[in-house]
A and B are shown apart, each in its own frame.
Chain A
Amino acid sequence: MPAPDSKKTTANSSPTLIEIKDFNFYYGEKQALFNINLNIPYQEVTALIGPSGCGKSTLLRSLNRMNELIEGIRREGNILLEGQSIYDPKLEVISLRKRIGMVFQKSNPFPKTIYENVVFGLRIRGQSNKSRLDEVVEKSLKASALWEEVKDRLQDNALGLSGGQMQRLCIARAIATEPEVLLMDEPCSALDPVATAKIEALIHELKKDYTIVIVTHNMQQAGRVSDKTAFFYMGELIEFDETEKLFTNPSKKKTEDYITGRFG
């Protein structure tokens, strides 16, 4: 992992890892993102909030170029990871995705064993040393607070897990390869409060080693886990600030309306 001092710094002096510049995004004729400028800080948790359909997922999926799987999309502007454009034709999308892990809104474990799910990313990278893989499985599952529950059934099919366990397995899968950035799209939307609490605690832990971008609909959750929060409305970035500041003293009227529950 690169040293923090190599990063650009924002006004309040935390280094920037991802820089989004004048970013526009279109699904065919329909524009989903309007001129977004946003700096995502290094090794902090950035929350993206906003009403449904405002473009949070679109932005998140732009960061690891997952949107490119969709037919007829178009973009303008640029996204820089450590100062380098992620759309640089010289940069392979595969190597980009190896640096940026992702946890999806709907948990999507592979129809394989728990063990194989966790080591999938490593196998892709050509790692086949058994003891190394074992090590990573234990470490990742411990980090995602799943180890105690599954350590005796690693060779069972992952689809036999509960919803919350599956989501934590997907997190373990994403962090097994130690990416620099972790993107999470509403990771707790399908979970009960206990599982949610576990994942939130996990995010707190992970913050020490990872830069995390999380989309959430849950204001309390954004307040609890994030350092910075960005509020989106109709495809535009309305406000981006320290989480505490944004929740207690928003500078825009729309933000205040949203967080006090007047719409959305």
Chain B
Amino acid sequence: MKQKEKIIGEAYVWLSSLGLSLGILMVLGLLSLIVVRGLEVFWPKPVALLALQDGQEVLGEVVLKQEKRLQDTEEWQMFVGNKEVLGQSFRFVDVHQIQKESYPPEVLNIERREYGDAFGWPVKLVLKDKEYLPSNESFAKQLAQAKKSSLERWEKIEELEKDQIGKLNKKMESLRLEKKQIDPKEITNIKALEEKEALLQKKYETLASQARQLRDLQEEGYLELKNTKGSLQKIKVSQIVDYYYPNQLTTGDRLQRFFYQLGAYLSEDPREANTEGGIFPALFGTAVMTLLMTLIVVPIGVLGAVYLQEYAKPGILVRLVRIAVNNLAGVPSIVFGVFGVGFFVYMIGGTIDELFFSNKLPTPTFGTGGLLWASLTLALLTVPVVIVSTEEALSSVSQGIREGSLALGASKWQTLKRVILPAAAPGILTGTILAMARGAGEVAPLMLVGVVKLAPTLPINGTFPFIHLDQKFMHLGFHIYDLGFQSPDSEAAKPMVFATTLLLILLVLFLNLGAIWLRERLRKKYASARF
């Protein structure tokens, strides 16, 4: 009997440790998959030239080698680029078809503004009727120079079109509004406004023509590339974002390119329906939204918890409120999104528009999704987390300390402020961390209250009033969804999905580490070894 019990007991120990290790393995597996696939994107791979039995040639990066289903053979998935020439940027090749595999060093990898990457053999560079052959010594220098000046031109064009013309448009808009409000009888006033308008119009025209000239310049100069179909394709210099010889790289070069591409990914705007380019606006939007949400949720949650725990008379009402708060944590997040649209966006936002922005109507200002409403909605979603953990922290502050403070003649409020809250601060921060983690990873409600596919203007920028609470923004979670399920070429977007997922995880980790650091500091200061 005893023996049997012991055996059963031991089995339970083993079972529970098995459960734990399974859990850990799953988490580690998931994380390592995301880390590996996410970082792989930025590692420059060599470009293989495959000669097939039927005489075709395939040039591209080997993405995947896999068993072919139901057949006893292997197939390779090749990223061949050149979407506009080859029709598809991915292609499958059966291994037994391959006659020869080689890595020609002259092959050039060109990252382009449109149509993604292109692989091929450079034939010649044409600049202002002058031709340079790859065998020519000055070819490399000329290409680099041309790329650099075209990039500079793009920057100038963007500056002109987005910043300067954008500002002009805003001024014209406000002039138009002014004109609408003026009494039509006051002719002199209207005249003055019209004069101003004409002046702006003139300015606009000079700026626009400057931009047009620059754009014309961008049409000049091209690189001729021979592809596997044997045809020559002309790639405008202005289309080249970057280029390198993938089969000539040393490991050091590769490492350098890896970090360069990683940096570009983190700091640039997205291109081509988000499948190319960087991710900076989404990263920024997520961080700003999460921080704003934290700023909103912590005071509300802490005040609520303080009232429930310290001031409210325990009774049926308080019990009910507590149950309601706990249940709020279990409500599906999309419900909060719907509530956010109905309450924040339409009701509050609509009212704000009517009261303060009525001259802009029917174009909504706050009566549409935006940073503020998204943050408020998420704050609502995460407030139970903060309340519950704050209550727990408050209730674990010992009665002795409270009495000690009261006995010294402190009022209840002084006791709360000077003794109880500092002692509970680490616990409150734990709740904040949980709320931040939950909020940063949430996507569903955000789609309803202000996150969009593309919003390159950041919600915090140089134009007055600097923080644009009404602005729509990008978000990493939504970006992942958009890349993975909404993009026209989901195969091409797959690596970006992994990279973006990795980034989202890192961002949450980073925010949490910040909060944990703060908590440790507080804990040292008010070392009550309770949490």
A interface residue count range (under 10 / 10 to 19 / 20 to 34 / 35 or more): 20 to 34
Instruction: Name A111's contact: one of B406, B409, B410, B527 (CB within 8 Å).
Output: B527
B residues sitting closer than 8 Å to A (CB atoms) are 398, 400-401, 403-411, 414, 418-419, 422-423, 524-529
List residues of chain B with CB within 8 A of the CB of A163.
none
Instruction: Name A108's contact: one of B404, B414, B525, B527 (CB within 8 Å).
Output: B404
Whether B407 pairs with A66 at a CB distance below 8 angstroms is: yes
User: Total A-B residue pairs with C-beta atoms closer than 8 Å?
Assistant: 71
Question: Does A207 have its Cβ within 8 Å of any Cβ on chain B?
Answer: no
Whether A177 pairs with B409 at a CB distance below 8 angstroms is: yes
Whether B403 pairs with A159 at a CB distance below 8 angstroms is: no
Please encode chain A, from 163 to 185, with 1 for each CB lying within 8 Å of some chain B CB and 0 for all others: 00000001001100100000000
Tell me, rounded to whole Å, the shortest Cβ–Cβ distance linking A68 to chain B.
10
- Report Cα–Cα, A101/B410, bound state, in Å: 12
Whether B410 pairs with A124 at a CB distance below 8 angstroms is: yes
Whether B409 pairs with A108 at a CB distance below 8 angstroms is: no
Whether B422 pairs with A173 at a CB distance below 8 angstroms is: no
Whether A111 pairs with B407 at a CB distance below 8 angstroms is: no
Whether B423 pairs with A111 at a CB distance below 8 angstroms is: yes
Whether B418 pairs with A120 at a CB distance below 8 angstroms is: yes
- Report Cα–Cα, A110/B527, bound state, in Å: 10
Whether B407 pairs with A110 at a CB distance below 8 angstroms is: no
Whether B407 pairs with A102 at a CB distance below 8 angstroms is: yes
Whether A121 pairs with B409 at a CB distance below 8 angstroms is: yes
Whether B408 pairs with A104 at a CB distance below 8 angstroms is: no
Tell me, rounded to whole Å, the shortest Cβ–Cβ distance linking A117 to chain B.
9
Majority-rule SS of B interface residues: helix
List residues of chain A with CB within 8 A of the CB of B406.
66, 69, 97
Whether B408 pairs with A101 at a CB distance below 8 angstroms is: yes
Whether A98 pairs with B401 at a CB distance below 8 angstroms is: no
Whether A110 pairs with B409 at a CB distance below 8 angstroms is: no
Whether A159 pairs with B409 at a CB distance below 8 angstroms is: no
List residues of chain A with CB within 8 A of the CB of B525.
157
A 82-116 contacts with B by CB, 8 A:
94-95, 97-98, 101-102, 104, 106, 108-112
Question: Does A160 have its Cβ within 8 Å of any Cβ on chain B?
Answer: yes
What are 24 A-B contacts with C-beta separation under 8 Å? A94-B411, A95-B409, A97-B406, A97-B407, A97-B409, A98-B409, A101-B408, A104-B400, A104-B407, A108-B400, A108-B404, A110-B401, A110-B423, A111-B423, A111-B526, A111-B528, A112-B422, A124-B408, A124-B410, A157-B525, A157-B526, A170-B404, A173-B404, A173-B408
Known contacts A111-B422, A111-B423, A125 near B409 by CB under 8 Å: yes
Question: Does A64 have its Cβ within 8 Å of any Cβ on chain B?
Answer: yes
A residues sitting closer than 8 Å to B (CB atoms) are 64, 66, 69, 94-95, 97-98, 101-102, 104, 106, 108-112, 120-121, 123-125, 157, 159-160, 170, 173-174, 177
- Report Cα–Cα, A124/B414, bound state, in Å: 7
Whether B403 pairs with A104 at a CB distance below 8 angstroms is: yes
- Report Cα–Cα, A174/B406, bound state, in Å: 11
List residues of chain A with CB within 8 A of the CB of B404.
104, 108-110, 170, 173
List residues of chain A with CB within 8 A of the CB of B401.
108, 110-111
Quick one: which of A106, A120, A174 has the most chain B CB within 10 A? Answer: A120
Whether A124 pairs with B409 at a CB distance below 8 angstroms is: yes
By beta carbon, the residue of chain B nearest A183 is B407
List residues of chain B with CB within 8 A of the CB of A123.
418
Known contacts A110-B419, A112-B526, A160-B527, A120 near B408 by CB under 8 Å: yes
Tell me, rounded to whole Å, the shortest Cβ–Cβ distance linking A94 to chain B.
5
Known contacts A124-B414, A157-B527, A159-B528, A108 near B408 by CB under 8 Å: no
Tell me, rounded to whole Å, the shortest Cβ–Cβ distance linking A88 to chain B.
17
- Report Cα–Cα, A70/B419, bound state, in Å: 20
List residues of chain A with CB within 8 A of the CB of B423.
110-111
List residues of chain B with CB within 8 A of the CB of A109.
404
Whether A159 pairs with B408 at a CB distance below 8 angstroms is: no
List residues of chain B with CB within 8 A of the CB of A69.
403, 406
Whether A66 pairs with B403 at a CB distance below 8 angstroms is: yes
Tell me, rounded to whole Å, the shortest Cβ–Cβ distance linking A179 to chain B.
9
Known contacts A69-B403, A104-B400, A112-B422, A94 near B526 by CB under 8 Å: no
By beta carbon, the residue of chain B nearest A106 is B400
List residues of chain B with CB within 8 A of the CB of A66.
403, 406-407
Tell me, rounded to whole Å, the shortest Cβ–Cβ distance linking A63 to chain B.
11
List residues of chain B with CB within 8 A of the CB of A98.
408-409
Whether A94 pairs with B409 at a CB distance below 8 angstroms is: yes
